[in-house]
Amino acid sequence: HPFGSFGFDWLVPDSFFSYSVFRVDKLSLGLVFLACIFLSAKPFKKYRIIGVLLLLGALDFNGFKTSDLKKVGNIELVSTKTPQDLKFDSNYLNNIENNILKEIKLAQSKQKTLIVFPETAYPIALENSPFKAKLEDLSDDIAILIGTLRTQGYNLYNSSFLFSKEGVQIADKVILAPFGETMPLPKFLQKPLEKLFFGESAYLYRNASDFSDFTLNDFT
């Protein structure tokens, strides 16, 4: 990433094309930019066909195909609606766990094969919680994808856990939210400020170096 060496890994201009008909990469971003020039600039009017061809070159034709999500069967998308002021309150954790179990049982009653919870739906480190065993048991009947936290030493990861008959798969967040999860500053400034504000022994958010894929029923 051109800004990676300065700590600005959250600045991804090509992500503007997410959920659009264009591919999400820098080549497509450049093609669309050039197409806009050819299509809008008066001196290039006679070359508009070039602009059209550039747009065609940036199209994500895979997006026009039927979604492969049908391969994993019925999917239940859940919105937990946990109050933000209570989400990280340890006294409210039992309510969160009960709501998660309730949603899973409801999805099972609908004969869903996969239930998807939002980011940090379980707001503490799941691998250190007895609740993980409950999700593993339930995943024999329904696959469970849940956002949670994971620790490694003093590093804290915003992660997703996929529980299924095939086992447990984990993917860590790659692009952290600026100022919320990371300080978008050069490392020589970032580290001293982290120590100043959070202390030497504080758990600090870290990001995965690469994106990860989940595999479920031969679908990735």
Place of tokens 């009960």: 98
Place of tokens 């550039």: 54
Confidence tier at 74 by pLDDT (50, 70, 90) = confident
- Which tens digits make up the pLDDT trace of 193-207? 777 766 665 677 888
Place of tokens 């030497």: 200
At 169 the pLDDT is 94
Could you give all domains of the chain from N- to C-terminal order, each with its CATH number? 13-58 (no CATH), 75-205 (3.60.110.10)
d(CA 95, CA 101): 10
Instruction: Please provide the average confidence, as pLDDT, over all residues in the chain.
Output: 81
At 188 the pLDDT is 75
pLDDT of residue 29 exceeding 80: yes
Its pTM surpasses 0.75: no
- Which tens digits make up the pLDDT trace of 100-115? 999 999 999 999 999 9
- Which tens digits make up the pLDDT trace of 48-71? 888 889 889 888 877 655 455 555
At 118 the pLDDT is 93
